Amino acid sequence: MASKTRTRASLTDESSLKTGAQIVVDTLIEQGVDTMFCYPGGVVLPLFDKLYDAPIRFINPRHEQGGCHMADAYARASGKVGVVLVTSGPGACNLVTGLATAMMDSVPIVALTGQVRTELIGNDAFQEADTTGITRPVTKYNCIVKRVEDLARTIREAFYIASTGRPGPVLIDIPVDVEVNKCSADIPGEMNLPGYKIRSKGNARQISVAAAAINRSEKPVLYVGGGVISANASEEIRLLAKKAHLPVTTTLLGLGSFDQRKPESLDMLGMHGSAYANYAVQECDLLIAIGARFDDRVTGKVKTFASGAKIIHIDIDPASISKNVHVDIPVVGDAKAILVELTKEAEFRERKSWFEKIAEWKKKYPFSYDRKATAVKPQYVIEELCRQTKSEAIVTTGVGQNQMWAAQFYRFIKPRQLISSGGLGTMGFGLPAAIGAQVAKPDATVIDIDGDHSFNMTMTELATAVQYNLPIKVCILDNGYMGMVRQWQELFYNKRYSNSSLINPDYATVAQAIGAVGITVDKKADVSKAIEQMLAEKKPCVVDFRITREENVWPMVAAGKSLNEMDGLDILESMA
Ligand SMILES: Cc1ncc(C[n+]2csc(CCOP(=O)(O)OP(=O)(O)O)c2C)c(N)n1
Ligand SMILES: [Mg+2]
């Protein structure tokens, strides 16, 4: 193929020819790309050379995994497609965790990987890896482009597939000879995706059936997932909840889709969700799931999940209907469009006794902790962060207790405000995610609420934040443990803390060595001032909060238990 292309090229006027690298850059610009997260290597140098003069901002991470998480958070914060470009072999392999993270949370990314020359593919060439093979299960779609003539079309298709329907990461593998080969600049490269169909409008009859069920219901609950945020349908959720008078619970990824300060908010549901959300779901007569996928961390024991309820499921992805939990009224399509139609048919109902019951649960079992303690409590740190940022910050998280406390104690009021790895639960996501979010939203206050061991995984990216003058704030809830692992060992393994505590560096010193600001806090009395200082800093700032080491996250639905079988309610009640 390559020699044919060259023959044709030599017969054509040179000025009407473009290299593959130029086509890639031109098509990226046409797709509206103005920022990319890129790490170089031999087989992407033709692309790097063309990008050198392009009106596209380069952010160079310290590790490709970091770059992929940055592109992911850039997409989550902005609603645009995140773009990452890396080299073949080790570069591409380092993307896997980032792609899987984006795949599980339905985040639109276009990943471009360099590949060895087409004639070397399959030869165990230097830095060759079967990138499309390795990444197939962690991408929505991937392919290798072997002809320069196919580049523009494939890149357009990649952006379209990544950002439409249920969004997700798309990877395009480009051999280096395809980057340097030339073809006519006149090739139109129109998309050709006959098998890719998206149902955007929901079925009108199903919507009417759903509306009638809502209007009949005495004890409804709206269960909102991250799909509502991807669909930019948070305002439509507010309107439906108001018009039909519905209590609203969200998943971890749905936080921010409904203002948590509103009385109808039940906060997050699930394993570490609120007691009032979990009880309400278990006792409701109608569960209206929107852009959510009945993840096991949400349902607990599936058999007993919302067992007295009829279930409506509104989702763009037909494959997720009745996948985990049987659904009575499915509506497939775009959440925003469906919500508009549904709200037209919804009627107001008082539901006095239902809301009274919810208010009782809320009063009895609020998220709480020992407020009188003089030591640094993680929950207090987060409440103070929320107070000082007036609930307006963009929050990223690590994984573990830190993530759950962030979800429980920060009050999210708008969409795209919490950026967290929900589905894959990727430790190390928080710091690069904060960088990606800050790049997307330069004027926002971006705070990574992290765990010490999560931070350990990708802390090298602090240098990226320093290099690009990104004033991110990192709050390490430093318990000196893999706290969530320790909590499970305490509860289910007889307190045998097998390998869940490793030596940590002094984070303030590390931060300073990298060129960031570093602060250590080990007294409750210093928390507020440290946060003030952190928020005022123009440089990246790391605050090491030495928190009480053996704090637990409550409530907790242990694995295999029903959602209403929560541990720790007595603790919450006593501290309410
Ligand atoms: C990459 C990765 N490896 C392992 C795990 C399993 N895991 C879940 S939470 C956790 C401990 C997290 O520790 P830390 O970041 O200190 O958070 P904490 O729970 O203490 O707040 C581990 C090891 C994971 N989620 N991700
Ligand atoms: Mg920890």
pLDDT of residue 188: 85
**Are 434 and 446 spatial neighbours (Cβ–Cβ below 8 Å)?**
yes
β-pairing verdict for 556-557 and 109-115: unpaired
| Residue 478 CB less than 6 A away from ligand 1 | no
Using the mean position of ligand 1's atoms as its centre, give its distance from the Cα of residue 328 in Å. Answer: 37
Q: Which residue's CA is minimally distant from atom 11 of ligand 1? A: 482
Q: Which residue's CA is minimally distant from atom 9 of ligand 1? A: 400
Tell me the C-alpha to C-alpha distance, in Å, between residue 351 and each of 214, 220, 245, 332, 358: 12, 9, 8, 28, 11
| Residue 483 CB less than 6 A away from ligand 1 | yes
Can you read off the two tokens belonging to residue 103? 């795949």
pLDDT of residue 155: 98
**Are 477 and 409 spatial neighbours (Cβ–Cβ below 8 Å)?**
no
What domains are there in the chain, each with its CATH number?
Answer: 17-184 (3.40.50.970), 204-364 (3.40.50.1220), 378-554 (3.40.50.970)
Among 535, 529, 510, 530, smallest CA distance to 520 is for 530
pLDDT of residue 555: 98
Residues 6+ apart with CB under 8 A from 505: none
Q: Which residue's CA is minimally distant from atom 13 of ligand 1? A: 482
Can you read off the two tokens belonging to residue 439? 């790049």
Count Cα atoms within 13 angstroms, Cβ side, for 450: 30
**Are 380 and 371 spatial neighbours (Cβ–Cβ below 8 Å)?**
yes
Q: pTM for this one?
A: 0.97
Neighbours of ion ligand 2 (CB under 5 A): 451-452, 479, 481, 483
| Residue 484 CB less than 6 A away from ligand 1 | yes
| Residue 479 CB less than 6 A away from ligand 1 | yes
* Measured distance CA(97)–CA(329) in Å, rounded: 35
Tell me the C-alpha to C-alpha distance, in Å, between residue 323 and each of 164, 196, 317: 21, 21, 11
Residue 159: CB atoms within 10 A of its CB come to: 22
| Residue 398 CB less than 6 A away from ligand 1 | yes
pLDDT of residue 12: 54
| Residue 272 CB less than 6 A away from ligand 1 | no
* Measured distance CA(378)–CA(383) in Å, rounded: 9
Residue 549: CB atoms within 10 A of its CB come to: 13
* Measured distance CA(25)–CA(53) in Å, rounded: 10
Instruction: Return the CA Rg of the chain.
Output: 25
| DSSP string for 332-379 | ES-HHHHHHHHHHH------HHHHHHHHHHHHHS-S---TT-SS--HH
Q: Which helix (H) or strand (E) holds 535?
A: helix 524-536
Ligand found nearest the CA of 424: 1
pLDDT, one tens digit for every residue, the chain (576 residues): 344 444 444 455 677 899 999 999 999 999 999 999 999 999 999 999 999 999 999 999 999 999 999 999 999 999 999 999 999 999 999 999 999 999 999 999 999 999 999 999 999 999 999 999 999 999 999 999 999 999 999 999 999 999 999 999 999 999 999 999 999 988 889 999 999 999 889 999 999 999 999 999 999 999 999 999 999 999 999 999 999 999 999 999 999 999 999 999 999 999 999 999 999 999 999 999 999 999 999 999 999 999 999 999 999 999 999 999 999 999 999 999 999 999 999 999 999 999 999 999 999 999 999 999 999 999 999 999 999 999 999 999 999 999 999 999 999 999 999 999 999 999 999 999 999 999 999 999 999 999 999 999 999 999 999 999 999 999 999 999 999 999 999 999 999 999 999 999 999 999 999 999 999 999 999 999 999 999 999 999 999 999 999 999 999 999 999 999 999 999 999 998
**Are 527 and 549 spatial neighbours (Cβ–Cβ below 8 Å)?**
no
Tell me the C-alpha to C-alpha distance, in Å, between residue 386 and each of 9, 392, 408, 410: 61, 8, 11, 5
